[in-house]
């Protein structure tokens, strides 16, 4: 029988396997060791691997992220956990100016194989300072890779790929997805012996013919729910494309889908101004304009700080009905 595990368990398995695969892999972050992680992603790893492989850090993102970047230049492969990706701003100089440029500035002599992971989402009523979705900001910087998996399968496969990559990979998760389950095969069921998902390869999560719903992270689940309702209530078959990694970006899969369906909506929990969807919409318009039967539309969070009120925040972040109404407007 195929097994289903949670997104949280999938990340834990991937981290455990990489700690076993390479002695240079270490996990560093606030409460990742004895407390088993703020979201229990690192549960049991400190007990298994000890103080030198799973390390609690002080509440100083600028300090421990900077330390991890330096360590990565010397051959360590640190996996740094941020309790919220909103706190990445505290370490912005290290993450953007140092990690992203060290290979270029050293003429290829230095790599920076660091992974910075943690939740980048709103919707949990923790206020404006704890609800940022900065994937578009980091994706803007050459030298960085940005990953945002939507399922347990992709979370496990991509965390392993990210750890083995020689560039900085900023791995953005979702607290809302941590408890969601999906099918993840056991390693002995795989011909390769392990689950690896490459970066830069999007996934068609649902086949369709009438419209392409393109998304990343938690918005993929929103699109899948909207697609099922569009089919059941309106006879519209939506294709759902999951970017999985934002940079590198799989342009070919996106464009192939739009050429087939002739309509596209990008859905994201990011803000609209300079968002990932703006880049995707521009790319579609530039490269397959003649295939479009309607404008490329976007569904985003409302352009304001994250609201603290639970009922209001539910309306601020994209939900299936908003996607459905947008789709109906161009179908």
- Grouping H, G, I as helix, E, B as strand and the rest as coil, residue 129 is helix
Structure tokens at 303: 């352009």
Dist CA 323 CA 278 (whole Å): 16
Q: Pick the closest to residue 32 from 133, 115, 91, 90 (CA basis).
A: 115
Select which of 13, 130, 132, 239 is catalytic: 130
Q: What is the longest distance spanned by two Cα atoms in the chain? A: 58
Token pair 């464009």 is found at: 255
34 is catalytic: no
Dist CA 10 CA 236 (whole Å): 33
Helix axes 218-234, 320-330, angle to 10 degrees: 60
Burial (CB count <10 Å: 0-12, 13-18, 19+), residue 58 = exposed
Dist CA 261 CA 268 (whole Å): 20
> Helices in the chain by DSSP H: which ranges?
7-21, 45-49, 61-73, 92, 102-105, 135-139, 152-164, 218-234, 251-261, 276-287, 310-316, 320-330
Select which of 30, 61, 239, 268 is catalytic: 61
Q: Pick the closest to residue 18 from 165, 151, 148 (CA basis).
A: 165
61 is catalytic: yes
Structure tokens at 43: 């549960």
> 14: Cβ–Cβ under 8 A, 6 or more apart, which residues?
155, 156, 157, 159, 160, 163, 195
* Residue 224 CA: distances (Å) to CA of 54, 63, 118, 326: 36, 40, 23, 15
Residues noted as catalytic: 61, 130
């Amino acid at each position: 029988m195929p097994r289903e595990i949670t997104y949280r368990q999938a990340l834990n398995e991937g981290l455990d396997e990489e700690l076993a695969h390479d002695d240079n892999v270490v996990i560093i972050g606030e409460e990742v060791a004895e407390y088993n992680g703020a979201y229990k992603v690192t549960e049991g790893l400190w007990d298994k691997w000890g103080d030198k492989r799973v390390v609690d850090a002080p509440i100083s993102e600028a300090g421990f992220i900077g330390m991890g970047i330096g360590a990565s230049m010397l051959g360590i492969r640190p996996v740094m956990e941020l309790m919220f990706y909103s706190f990445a701003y505290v370490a912005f100089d290290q993450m953007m100016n140092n990690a992203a440029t060290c290979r270029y500035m050293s003429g290829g002599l230095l790599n920076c194989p660091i992974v910075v992971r943690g939740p980048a989402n709103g919707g949990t009523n923790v206020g404006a300072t704890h609800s940022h979705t900065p994937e578009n900001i980091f994706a803007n910087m050459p030298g960085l890779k940005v990953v945002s998996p939507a399922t347990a399968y992709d979370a496990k496969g991509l965390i392993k790929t990210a750890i083995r990559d020689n560039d900085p990979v900023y791995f953005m998760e979702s607290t809302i997805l941590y408890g969601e389950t999906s099918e993840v095969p056991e390693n002995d069921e795989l011909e390769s012996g392990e689950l690896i998902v490459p970066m830069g390869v999007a996934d068609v999560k649902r086949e369709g013919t009438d419209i392409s719903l393109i998304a990343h992270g938690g918005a993929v689940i929103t699109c899948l729910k909207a697609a099922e309702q569009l089919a059941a209530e309106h006879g519209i078959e939506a294709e759902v494309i999951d970017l999985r990694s934002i940079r590198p970006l799989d342009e070919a899969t996106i464009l192939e889908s739009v050429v087939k369906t002739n309509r596209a909506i990008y859905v994201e929990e990011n803000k609209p101004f300079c968002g990932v969807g703006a880049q995707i919409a521009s790319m579609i318009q530039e490269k397959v304009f003649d295939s479009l039967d309607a404008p490329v539309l976007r569904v985003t969070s409302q352009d304001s700080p994250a609201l603290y009120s639970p009922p209001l925040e539910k309306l601020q972040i994209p939900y299936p009905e908003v996607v459905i109404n947008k789709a109906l407007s161009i179908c």
